[in-house]
Each structure stands twice: as structure tokens, then as C-alpha cells.
Amino acid sequence: MPAPQHSPTHALERLLDQWSIDVRAWNARFDRFARFASRLAGRPLAFNLAIFVILVWMLSGPFFGFSDTWQLIINTATTIVTFLMVFIIQHTQNRDTDAIQIKLDELIRSVDTAENMLLDLEEMEEEELLLLRQRYMELARKAREELEKRRRGEG
């Protein structure tokens, strides 16, 4: 029998389960929404729309006497949009990073001469990564030296 999970994520999932909310369906809907919103936010149309909203807000300043309420409107709107976009962008980046990592792991696994210890590189401690980086920098240096020898006709 597995040990009980005590992370905040599992606590939230238990709470949603108590409320009869299908967590998988909820997550799938959020994933689809996050991908859609991320794609939409990265298009020139979204940027142009943001510029248009700012221009309308600026031009409406004299009409509202540049009041505190007028300033509060743009501050509140941009704060809310920024707050929500942080979660959408982070979710999309996490998903993309996971997908790239799986693809890289498959490439490493499928090449006979590859070092399988690199499969879980993202899980290693900082010191281990530093040692591996130094090792591969040394290999790159040797490869550059060998290339230079070939170019000079020495190899």
C-alpha cells in the first residue's frame, strides 16, 4: 500500500474529489485553454490589441480628467492580466520542457554510443552538472584542437 501523499497538489486534488470535480477533466480543460491562450498571446494581433487598448485608455484621460479612477482602471486590468498570464505561460513552458526532455531522452536512449547516464540529467544536483559540463567542455576543446590540426594538414 503506497504512503499517503501530503503535498499541496494532492490536498487540492482530494478537496476537488470531495466536491465531485473530475480532476483529470479539469486539468485537460486547463491544458487546452493554456495552450490556446499562449498561442493567442504570442501573435502580433494580441500585441496590436494591447497597444489599441492602451491608446484608447490614454486618449480617454482628458475626458475623465486623468482621475485616480482612470489610472486605477489600467493598473487593475494590467495586474489581473499579468497575474493570470504568469500561470498560463509557466504551464505552457513546463509542458514544452517535458515534451522536449522526453524527445531528448528517446534520442539518447536510441543511440548506441550515447551515455545513458544523461537520460535524467535534469534530476542531477548542481555539483554533478558542473562536473559533467567540465567534462563535455574538455571534449569540445579536444575536438576543436583536432579540427584545427586537420585544417592545417597535420592530421
Domain boundaries, the chain: 8-123, 124-155
Round to whole Å and give the CA distance between 33 and 97: 18
Q: What is the pTM of this model?
A: 0.64
All three cell numbers of 32: 487546452
Looking at residue 7, its pLDDT comes to 67
Q: What is the average pLDDT across 54-61?
A: 95
| Tens-place pLDDT, residues 59-78 | 999 999 999 999 999 999 99
| Tens-place pLDDT, residues 29-42 | 999 999 999 999 99
- Minimal CA–CA distance to 71: which of 87, 54, 84? 54
